[in-house]
Amino acid sequence: MTPATRQEVLGLYRKVLQIARTWQSASGQTEETMREKEYIRNEARTLFRKNRNVTDPKLIKQCIEECEARIEIGLHYKIPYPRPIHLPPMGLAHKQGRTLRHQEKLRKISKPIYLKSHDEVS
């Protein structure tokens, strides 16, 4: 990892922790605010530690983009949790074969960047 990339990643981590410190839930309830703050801190720790040893520049760039997208979406919608998405069901494909593989590939491609690591952690 280059020093510039390292500084960018550390800056993102600090930004997420700063957001967690100043976070206010949409409902304004103290209990919910504390729960959401804790979720933000735990999610950040988990994902940053999981990706600590990543050395591939393309994968690092993808992780940075995912983090930035999750920050922007969280601040815009005032929810710390990843927004659910609609993916078409896979009920039309047979249990095996090219059609199933093709549908799986389409589902993987259509998943937004901010949910790439969510399934791995949850």
What mean pLDDT do residues 91-119 have? 66
Q: Which residue has the tokens 């997420």?
A: 16
* pTM attached to this predicted model: 0.73
CA distances from 47 to 60, 106, 122 (A): 12, 25, 11
Domain-embedded: residue 61: yes
φ/ψ of 27, rounded to 5, equals -80, -25
- Is pLDDT of 122 > 50? no
Q: Domain range for residue 63?
A: 3-115
Domain-embedded: residue 18: yes
Domain-embedded: residue 121: no
Domain-embedded: residue 91: yes
Q: Containing H/E element for 44?
A: helix 30-50
Nearest-Å Rg of the Cα atoms of the chain is 17
- Is pLDDT of 8 > 60? yes
Number of domains in the chain: 1
Domain-embedded: residue 122: no
DSSP 84: P
What is the spatial distance between Cα 11 and Cα 35, in angstroms, rounded to a whole number? Answer: 24
Percent of the chain at pLDDT > 90 equals 52
- Is pLDDT of 111 > 70? no
Domain-embedded: residue 120: no
What mean pLDDT do residues 54-81 have? 91
Neighbours of 21 (CB within 10 A): 10
